[in-house]
Amino acid sequence: MKITCNKNELTNALQIVARAVASKPQTPILSGIYLRAEGTTLELQATNYEIGLVARIEAEIEEAGELTVGGRYFQEVVRKLPGENVKLACTADEKIVHIESAMAKFTLLSMNAAEFPTIQPLKGNLDFAIKDNILRDLIKKTVFACSNDEARPVFTGCSLEVTENKVTMAATNTHRLSVKSETFDQSIGNIKVIIPSRILQELLHNMSSDIPTDVKISCSYNQISFSFDNLYMTSRLIEGQFPNYRGVIPPEFATHVKTDTASFAAAVDRISLIARAGVYNTIKLEFAGDQIHITSNNPEIGNAEEYIPAEIDGPDIAIAFNAQYIIDVLKNIDSKTCRIGLNQPLSPASIQEEDDDSFVYIVTPVRTNH
C-alpha cells in the first residue's frame, strides 16, 4: 500500500474511528485501526465488537492495499505531523508502516490486517432514511435521560419505536423519562429496538452539517447501522424488554405553569450549588401567585433561595426534585418558554416545550423531611 492524503482530513477521520478502539481489547488486533486504500478512497475502521466506526477520505493511491496499525500511536503521530500532506507506505512482507510528512519520518510496527474483523455493511430487515436534523433532535431530547447503571442494561439505551409513519425515541433511568416523536408523510415500517446510548452520543457528535442530509438506518434483530456523508457506524442492540413507559405519563395535570426557560435554568443551576453536597441534590420549588420560589438548604453549608416570575394556573403546590434532573432537560429545550405540569407533591411532574406536544419529560419528585 502506498498513498498520499491531506493531514487534517486524516486526523479528523482518525479522531472519529479511534473512539471505537477498545481500551482493554479482548484480542490485540482490536487495539488497531484498519486502513484500506482503493480507487481514490482511503477507508479507516475500528471496532470493539460493541460498536464499529468507519470513515472515508479522498487519497492519491499509488498502490492499493490494506494495513492495520496500533490506534493510539498512529493517531498521536499523525496529529503532530508538521506538513499539510501525509505519505503512508507498507509492503506486504514488511511488518512496518512508513509515515512521512514534510521533513518528519516515522515507522510504526503494523499488525496482521487479515486478522482484523472488518466491518461489513449491515443487511437489515428494516431500512429507512431520516434527515440528520430530525434524528439529532430525537437523540438530543432523550439520550441524556439514560441510566449509567450497567447492571440494568435496558435503561442504558434509548428505545426506538417505528410504527408506520411515526418514529418515537424514549429513555428512562426509572426516576425520569424523556420521550420525543416525529411523524413522517409516508409509512416507514414497524420495529422496536433498544439502542445503546454510546452510539447515539457518537452520532450526535458527528452529525454537524448545516444543510439537512439523509441518514440511512438499517436495522436487524440484534444490530443497527447509520450511514451519512463519509461515515458508517454500526452497533449491537441491547437485548431485553423496554418498560411500558406510556403508563407513567399522567393524562392530565391540576396545576399548569409557564416560565422563561433560560431564567428557570439559570436559577435552578445557582440554587443547586448548595444542593450538590447532599445525597439527592435536592431543591424545593414552590409554585404560588405569579412566581416560582426555588430553595435549597444544607445544614453543613448554608442555604439559597430565588424567585422567578411565572404564569400559574391551578392550585399552589410545593414539590422537591433532584436539581440535576431539572437542569438536564432545560438544557435541551429549544423554546423561549417552557411548560410545567403538576399534580401532587409526590406525583410525577412534566416539563415540555412551549407549543410542542411531540416532546415530554416526566420527572419523579424527591420525598423531603420538611
Question: pLDDT tens across 273-285, in order?
Answer: 998 776 778 999 9
- Mean pLDDT value across the chain: 94
CATH architecture of 126-246: Roll (3.10)
d(CA 51, CA 63): 30
Q: Per CATH, which fold does 2-115 belong to?
A: DNA Polymerase III; Chain A, domain 2 (3.10.150)
Q: What is the CA radius of gyration of the chain?
A: 25
Looking at residue 257, what is its pLDDT? 98
Q: Three-state secondary structure along the chain?
A: CEEEEEHHHHHHHHHHHHHHCCCCCCCHHHHEEEEEEECCEEEEEEECCCEEEEEEEECEEEECEEEEEEHHHHHHHHHCCCCCEEEEECCCCCCEEEEEECCEEEEEEEECHHHCCCCCCCCCCEEEEEEHHHHHHHHHCCHHHCCCCCCCHHHHEEEEEEEECEEEEEEECCCEEEEEEEECCCCCEEEEEEEEHHHHHHHHHHCCCCCCCEEEEEECCCEEEEEECCEEEEEECCCCCCCCHHHHCCCCCCEEEEEEHHHHHHHHHHHHHHHCCCCCCEEEEEEECCEEEEEEEECCCEEEEEEEECEEECCCEEEEEEHHHHHHHHHCCCCCEEEEEECCCCCCEEEEECCEEEEEEEECCCCCCC
CATH architecture of 249-363: Roll (3.10)
CA atoms within 13 A on the CB side of 249: 17
Q: Provide the pLDDT confidence category of residue 206 given band limits of 50, 70 and 90.
A: very high
351 within 8 A of 365, measured Cβ to Cβ = no
The reply to whether 249-363 shares the fold of 126-246 is yes
Q: Environment class of residue 60 by beta-carbon count within 10 Å: exposed (0-12), middle (13-18) or buried (19+)?
A: middle
Which cell numbers hold the place of 293? 420560589
Give 136-164 pLDDT, tens digit per residue.
999 999 999 999 988 899 999 999 999 98
Looking at residue 57, what is its pLDDT? 97
368 within 8 A of 320, measured Cβ to Cβ = yes
Give 286-296 pLDDT, tens digit per residue.
999 999 999 99
Please identify which residue in the block is written with the cell numbers 439505551: 157
Looking at residue 189, what is its pLDDT? 84
The angle formed by the CA atoms of residues 257, 173 and 349, to the nearest 5 degrees, is 15
Which cell numbers hold the place of 291? 412566581
Q: What residue spans define the domains of the chain?
A: 2-115, 126-246, 249-363
Q: Environment class of residue 210 by beta-carbon count within 10 Å: exposed (0-12), middle (13-18) or buried (19+)?
A: exposed
Please identify which residue in the block is written with the cell numbers 432514511: 129
Looking at residue 359, what is its pLDDT? 98
33 within 8 A of 117, measured Cβ to Cβ = no
The stretch 326-346 carries a mean pLDDT of 97
User: Global pTM?
Assistant: 0.93
Kindly tell me the sign of the dihedral angle through the C-alpha atoms of 352, 353, 357, 360: negative
Q: How far is CA 14 from CA 44, 77, 345, in A?
A: 7, 11, 50
The angle formed by the CA atoms of residues 288, 289 and 293, to the nearest 5 degrees, is 45
Looking at residue 370, what is its pLDDT? 53
Share of the chain above pLDDT 70, in %: 99
**Beta-bridge partners for 36:** 43, 66
1 within 8 A of 63, measured Cβ to Cβ = yes
d(CA 317, CA 285): 8
Which cell numbers hold the place of 282? 435536592
d(CA 12, CA 78): 10
